[in-house]
Amino acid sequence: MTNTKTDNLFFLYLGKLIIVKKILLVLTLTALIFACKKEDDKPNTNTTSTNTVEGCTDTIAINFLATATVDDGSCEYPPSALKLSIITVNSMPMTNNGSDWDIGILGSENPDVFYVLKEGDGDIVSSSSKDNIATFPILFTENLPYTINTLSKEYTIEIYDNDEILGVGENEFIGSCSFTPNELITTLSINDELNIINNGVDMTLDIEWLQ
């Protein structure tokens, strides 16, 4: 009888121990589940910072960045006008198809050069002539600066030899260079120079983009 009673107590103790272990296991698993859930509820700050791209977000700006999510104030806008300040002729043909431009009472003379700025086929401004040009560069500032407001049109600077005296004679065309302002907008420098060359005529224009 003694052994049977002892065995019963042992098995009763063992059963209670197993129940306690099960309870501890359930509590441990429950605590782990709640801990994982709290971690999942935290905001993913790394994803937010990775998706931030700074740049110009204005679609009408010339440096618009399609992938930008935050505007950084760097937007640059197309100019509304172009100011032409100086026309410099670096070189030009010094003969008219092999013949001297001018023949005076003392023989051959160097050309008397003036410029004409044209919008399309219409004259805008021109200068008086610089006489007996033999060296370069030739700088023209007369009737300049001139502000060009229609940037989509083609503009031409023609240079002539002045052969008209008191209405007699005819000015001889030396050459020309053309440009369209809209095609030149690559940067918005406060001051800039434009070099254009055509058929032996080499010009540098001092220009300024205006907002």
Q: Are residues 117 and 99 in the same domain?
A: yes
Q: Are residues 108 and 37 in the same domain?
A: no
Residues listed for the chain: 211
Residue 49 pLDDT exceeds 60: no
pLDDT recorded at residue 165: 67
Q: Are residues 123 and 167 in the same domain?
A: yes
pLDDT recorded at residue 77: 86
Q: Are residues 101 and 203 in the same domain?
A: yes
- Residue-averaged pLDDT of the chain: 83
Q: Give the domain range for residue 85.
A: 81-210
Domain boundary among 71, 98, 123: 71
Question: Is 38 inside any structural domain?
Answer: yes
E strands, the chain, in order? 54-55, 70-71, 81-91, 102-104, 107-109, 113-119, 122-126, 138-140, 146-148, 155-161, 172-179, 192-198, 201-210
- Give the integer Cα–Cα distance in Å for 103 and 46: 82
pLDDT recorded at residue 44: 57
Question: Is 92 inside any structural domain?
Answer: yes
Burial class of residue 156 (count of CB atoms within 10 Å of its CB; 0-12, 13-18, 19+): middle
Q: Write out pLDDT tens, residues 154-205.
A: 999 999 999 876 666 689 999 999 999 998 876 556 568 899 999 999 999 9
Q: Are residues 67 and 90 in the same domain?
A: no
Tell me the mean pLDDT in the region 47-61: 82
- Would you place residue 57 in the very low, low, confident or very high pLDDT band (cuts 50, 70, 90)? very high
Residue 63 pLDDT exceeds 90: no
Contact 56, 72 (CB under 8 A): yes
pLDDT recorded at residue 211: 84
Q: Are residues 105 and 16 in the same domain?
A: no
Q: Which residue has the tokens 């023989």?
A: 107
pLDDT over 70 percentage in the chain: 70
Which range scores top for mean pLDDT: 29-33, 102-106, 135-139, 165-169? 135-139
pLDDT recorded at residue 109: 77
- Within 8 A by CB and 6+ apart from 176, the residues are 156, 157, 158, 159, 198, 201
Domain boundary among 23, 39, 71: 71
Question: Is 125 inside any structural domain?
Answer: yes
Identity of the amino acid at 66: A
Q: How many domains does the chain have?
A: 2
Domain boundary among 30, 45, 71: 71
Question: Is 76 inside any structural domain?
Answer: no
pLDDT over 90 percentage in the chain: 51
CATH code for position 189: 2.60.40.150
Question: Is 96 inside any structural domain?
Answer: yes
pLDDT recorded at residue 189: 61
Residue 1 pLDDT exceeds 80: no
Burial class of residue 174 (count of CB atoms within 10 Å of its CB; 0-12, 13-18, 19+): buried
Which pTM was predicted? 0.68
Q: Are residues 131 and 44 in the same domain?
A: no
Q: Which residue has the tokens 């030149």?
A: 184
